[in-house]
Amino acid sequence: MWKLCELLLVWASFLAAEVSGADRHSRHDFPSDFVFGAGTSAYQVEGAANEDGRTPSIFDTYAHSGLTHGANGDVACDQYHKYKEDVQLMVETGLEAYRFSISWSRLIPNGRGPVNPKGLQYYNHLIDELISHGVQPHVTLHHADLPQALEDEYGGWINRKIVKDFTVYAEVCFREFGDRIRHWTTFNEANVFVLAGYDSGILPPQRCSFPFGLVNCSQGNSSIEPYLAAHNILLAHASAARTYKNIYQAKNMLTYHIPFRR
């Protein structure tokens, strides 16, 4: 829960700084459809990294490479086990929305193939818990945590094959959770992921080359890979968004009727 609290504080001070000229603010200073919330990523908060069928992502590999001074997400905030307490804290904080990401390698271990029933169950429980407490769920599909298996098999985002695998994963999410999720984000900060992962090499999958790398990467090519990865991410976004609009949006709109707290 600490990370969530930190994020909240940052966000709150951001808001305070942006509304200048007044020293007191209330909800009424914002449009009625403005949503107050907090956001996390799966690897930041879930923990349970090796439980119930989850396999490592590129972030697990990075966090165990010795470069993070021992910090890793094996336990993190343990939201996997403590989601009910976390939702309770969100209610007490007065959050209207919670943005979280789905761990691809928890839902579909190794990136493709059968869906992991335990992963499915966890996200269903989390979403239901949020909704039953009037907290609007917002879902991110990829927050820097590509399944390591796909990185190993064909190079992950630098290979065009990723577009198909991402679309299948996204479709599982739309199909399983779309009756209750109205707000989807395909990629968190695609630009940061690409620059840090393939140009400077400071974040997973830590690919870069001289003289652009800020670390000594064991592989990569900073001149071309950032563009390959960015291109494939754009294609994957387009493919998933089209699938959603063509198949799931209209269907989910019909069944979607959940009143949110205001």
Site for ligand NAG, residues 163 to 192, rule: CB under 6 A: none
Indicate the SS3 state at residue 140. Answer: strand
Binding mask 121-160 for ligand NAG (x = CB under 6 A): ----------------------------------------
Q: What separation in angstroms does the CA of 243 have from each of 128, 180, 251?
A: 24, 17, 12
**Distance in Å, CB of 211 to ligand NAG, minimum:** 9
Tokens (6 digits) for 153? 């098999």
Q: What separation in angstroms does the CA of 201 have from each of 144, 167, 224?
A: 13, 26, 13
192 vs 215 by CB, closer to ligand NAG: 215
67 near ligand NAG (CB under 6 A): no
Place of tokens 């069944």: 255
In this structure, are residues 225 and 207 in contact, taking their beta carbons and an 8 Å threshold?
Answer: yes
Site for ligand NAG, residues 195 to 224, rule: CB under 6 A: 209, 215-216, 221, 223-224
136 vs 209 by CB, closer to ligand NAG: 209
93 vs 221 by CB, closer to ligand NAG: 221
72 vs 221 by CB, closer to ligand NAG: 221
Neighbours of 105 (CB within 10 A): 29
**Distance in Å, CB of 199 to ligand NAG, minimum:** 12
> How many residues belong to the site for ligand NAG (CB under 6 A)?
6
**Distance in Å, CB of 216 to ligand NAG, minimum:** 4
75 vs 215 by CB, closer to ligand NAG: 215
The amino acid occupying position 19 is V
Tokens (6 digits) for 160? 């065009």
Neighbours of 258 (CB within 10 A): 13
Region at 106 (left for phi over 0; alpha for psi -120 to 50; beta for the rest): alpha
**Distance in Å, CB of 210 to ligand NAG, minimum:** 7
188 vs 221 by CB, closer to ligand NAG: 221
**Quick one: which of 180, 1, 184 has its CA closest to 102?**
184
**Distance in Å, CB of 25 to ligand NAG, minimum:** 44
Say how many CA atoms lie within 13 Å of 115 toward its Cβ.
14
Q: Which residues in this chain contact ligand NAG in the complex, by CB under 6 A? A: 209, 215-216, 221, 223-224
